[in-house]
Amino acid sequence: MSNNKQALDLTDITISLPVATQGLSMEDPVGLVNAFKPAAVPQNLVQSAEASTTTPTVNESDNARSRMVGRRLRDVKPGEKNVSLDIPEINQPDVTTPNEASTASSPIIYRVTEVQPLYNVDESDDETIGFLLDCAERGQNRSNQRPPSICKVSRILRDHSESSYEPQLVSIGPIHRENEKLQEFELLKECYLNDLLHRCHDSTPRETLEACLLKVNTLLPQVRESYAGMIENYRDADFARMMVMDGCFILEFCFKHEEENLYLPNKMQNSRIAMDLMLLENQIPFFVLQALFDCSMGKGSFTLSNVLDKYLASYIKLFHSQLPEKNSTTDVVDSDSTHDHILGYLHKRYQLVVAKSSNPIHAEASKLLDREGIENTYTTFHSIVELDRSGMNFKPHQEYIWSMTIKFQSSLVACLPWFGSKPTLLMPTLVIDDITELILRNFIAYEQLFPKDHYYFTSYAHAMDMLIDTQEDIAKLVESKVLVNILGSNQEAADMINKICKNISITDFYYTQEFKQMDTYYNGYWPKNIARLRRIYFNNPWNAIALLAAIILFFLTVVQTLFAIMAA
């Protein structure tokens, strides 16, 4: 040991004895040190201390000296320095055990402090961690599955018009199956099932049902994945029975469109059922409907798309013009495997699809696909009345490009009154009745919940909401034959359009360029002044004649004055 060692000063050491030290004395220094050892001492130090007490690593003379230090340490009184112990003096509350002092020339010093773990994991925590890991694993499995296409509409959308999402007569699928007011129609489904089975002449009713049920059972895992919740309590047999019954009802309902319906003699009930069949919450997967159609009708000259187009889509009259013909688009609607359900199929019938050709109409339509985020589209927008006062005209579009086309037409001389032309906003003729809100809300909900499809109806509804503020805006559009109001008062129509886009978000707005052009026109200097001139002096022929006479009289007066000055 070095000759520069300092004596150990025990006067500054304050030790709080733990409970484990009761019954111990200085006769047992190793036991005393173990009593002070904290529960979370670093492992390397614990191993070092244990090795020093079990395996001698020094010679016998050092062990004898260690025992002598232990005996003399008992006789040290508080506040005394014992240089004869040859223990270095320290100024911090460290404790050196005799065994540790014997392991090297300089003793190993333990600091008597309690080390707390960052987090104590007990049995309840183990259960929680296991539960959360199971949740994470289930989440990973769901992320790998096909996203559901049929679900309840979120509360944010339902709060504004809950009746727009709930069936009134017939329940399709499991979501509204337990609704008591719809149970009466379940008996009529049996009649429709019987008629469909006897419509098939190539097989007996039993053979047809066996084929349908066998096909649905093979598709059952995919069918369950198509629904978000509400199906856990259904056994496979009950679920398959529901799919067959509801699918057969939909097919037979379409076939009875042009026949005398003994079950529903009231035409209004037929229209109401058609509305129920397009609700987002009232659907079955399209591939189930296709499978039932193939099993019951076989491979004929017509397809399921033909049936839906001819019999069901005719009830969905949102615009005055009919749904687009297939030859005006690509065959997006011909591939039945791409549809989620009937609502998804109808949504694609309104979809803007540009064929790969040199047709100028297609080239014009392709510009509508160049869309931007609505947040970057404009800073201000103007109502129909404001645009009318700036000299703009409103007309229904005549040439077909897209059923929801909104196009702004203008020219350099369009604002001049003597050219007889005005800037014009071309719009589709919208029919507002008691089902317009239902159709728009379900199409918008489908676009909001499943953004893989385009925001056609969301964009159109936002555009109408920006253009219409009051009943005066509705009146102007009705006057311009751009809008047909069967709902009632103009105020009711304005309120319906203003409410339909509440809590609706949109990332792709299809009318970006049109609203930019209208804003540029509205903020120009000449449009407002010339529009005011036209309203005051050119609103009828007599005012125009009076203005022309005043201009001629003013010109003659100026000429007469000039000649009088020259003669003088």
**Please, which pLDDT band fits residue 504 given cuts at 50, 70 and 90?**
confident
- Interhelix angle 490-499/471-479, rounded to 10 degrees, is 110
Most confident of 156-170, 387-401, 441-455: 156-170
Q: Say which range, 80-89, 174-183, 212-221, has the weakest mean pLDDT.
A: 80-89
Residue 381 is predicted with a pLDDT of: 81
pLDDT per residue over 275-313, tens digit each? 999 999 999 999 999 999 999 887 776 789 888 888 887
Crossing angle of helices 286-297 and 185-199, rounded to 10°? 40
The per-residue pLDDT for 111 is 47
Tell me, what's the pLDDT at 466? 93
Residue type, 315: Y
Predicted local confidence at residue 243, as pLDDT:
96
Q: Tell me what percent of the residues of the chain surpass a pLDDT of 90.
A: 29
For the ranges 137-146, 214-223, 234-243, the lowest mean pLDDT is seen at 137-146
pLDDT at 442: 95
Taking 50 as the threshold, does the pLDDT of residue 179 lie above it? yes
Q: What does the alpha-carbon distance between residue 403 and residue 313 come to, in Å, rounded to a whole number?
A: 15
Please answer whether residues 97 and 49 qualify as being in contact, where contact means their C-beta atoms are separated by less than 8 angstroms. Answer: yes
**What mean pLDDT is predicted for residues 429-452?**
89
pLDDT at residue 104, as a whole number: 45
Which of the residue ranges 27-31, 424-428, 527-531 has the most confident prediction, judged by mean pLDDT? 424-428
The band of 65, judged by pLDDT with boundaries at 50, 70 and 90, is: low
If you ran DSSP here, which 8-state letter would residue 9 be given? B
pLDDT at residue number 471? 94
Q: In this structure, which amino acid lies at residue 516?
A: K
Mean pLDDT lowest among 23-37, 395-409, 433-447:
23-37
Confidence bin at 423 (pLDDT 50/70/90): confident
pLDDT at 4: 46
Convert the pLDDT of each residue in 535-546 to its tens digit. Answer: 666 667 777 777
pLDDT at 315: 79
> In 415-567, which residue ranges form alpha helices assigned H by DSSP?
436-449, 456-467, 471-479, 490-499, 512-522, 525-537, 541-567
Q: What is the pLDDT of residue 291?
A: 94
Distance CA 400, CA 322 (A): 11
Q: For residue 94, give every residue at least 6 positions away whose Cβ sits within 8 Å of its Cβ, in sequence order, or none.
A: 109, 110, 111, 112
- Which residue from 443, 446, 441, 353 is spatially nearest to 401, judged by alpha carbons? 353
State the pLDDT confidence band at 148, using cuts at 50, 70 and 90: confident
418-423 contacts, C-beta under 8 A, 24 or more apart: 422/391, 422/392, 422/393, 423/391, 423/392, 423/393, 423/521, 423/527
pLDDT of residue 288: 96
3-state DSSP assignment of residue 503 = coil
540 to each of 56, 393, 526, 536, 546, how far by Cα in Å?
A: 121, 17, 21, 9, 10
Strands 407-409 and 424-427: antiparallel
- Residue among 281, 202, 184, 200 at smallest CA distance from 248: 200
> Amino acid identity, residue 557?
T
pLDDT tens, residue by residue, 7-53? 444 444 444 455 445 555 555 555 555 555 555 545 554 455 444 44
Q: State the amino acid at position 501 in one-letter form.
A: C
Strands 110-111 and 407-409: unpaired
d(CA 29, CA 101): 12
Write down the pLDDT at residue 256.
Answer: 84
Rounded Cα distance between 99 and 107, Å, is: 9
Q: Note the pLDDT tens digit of each residue in 220-267.
A: 999 998 997 667 788 999 999 999 999 999 999 998 876 766 676 676
Q: Which residues are CB-neighbours of 286 under 8 A, at least 6 positions away?
A: 336, 339, 340, 341, 342, 344, 345
* pLDDT at residue number 46: 46
Question: What is the mean pLDDT of the segment spanning 458-468?
Answer: 93
Q: What is the pLDDT of residue 69?
A: 46
Query: Which H or E element spans position 110?
Result: strand 110-111
- Whether the CB-CB separation of 45 and 115 falls below 8 Å is answered with no
Reported confidence tier of residue 142, pLDDT bands at 50, 70, 90? low
Lowest-confidence segment of 170-174, 348-352, 450-454 by average pLDDT: 450-454
Confidence of residue 563 (pLDDT cuts 50, 70, 90): confident
- Mean pLDDT, rounded, of the chain: 74
47-61, 312-326, 330-344, 464-478: the lowest-pLDDT one: 47-61
Taking residues 494-512, report their average pLDDT: 87
How far is C-alpha 477 from the chain's CA centre?
Answer: 33
More confident residue, 124 or 205: 205
Q: Percentage of residues in the chain with pLDDT exceeding 70?
A: 61
Q: What is the pLDDT of residue 352?
A: 61
pLDDT score for 103 = 45
- Neighbour count for residue 329 (Cβ, 10 Å): 19
- Which pLDDT belongs to residue 200? 79
- More reliable by pLDDT, 452 or 270: 270
pLDDT above 50 (res 441):
yes
Q: What helix, strand, coil percent values describe the chain, rounded to 5?
A: 55, 5, 40
Rounded mean pLDDT, 444-448 = 91
CA distance 551 to 383: 35
Over residues 81-137, the pLDDT tens digits come to 444 444 444 444 444 454 444 444 444 444 444 555 545 556 667 788 888 888 888
Q: Is 416 exposed, middle or buried (0-12, 13-18, 19+ CB in 10 A)?
A: middle
The whole-number average pLDDT for the span 168-190 is 92
CA–CA separation, 326 and 2 (whole Å): 102
In this predicted model, which residue has the larger pLDDT, 89 or 410? 410
Residue 448 tokens, joined:
């909001």
Nearest to 161 by CA among 430, 437, 434: 437
Predicted local confidence at residue 397, as pLDDT: 83
Whether the per-residue pLDDT at 517 is higher than 80: the answer is yes
Q: Cα-flanking dihedrals φ and ψ of residue 102, to 5°? A: -90, -5
- What are the CA-CA distances from residue 33 to residues 9, 74, 323 (Å)? 18, 14, 91
Q: Where are the domains of the chain?
A: 19-111, 155-315, 366-537
Measured between its terminal Cα atoms, the distance across the chain in Å is 137
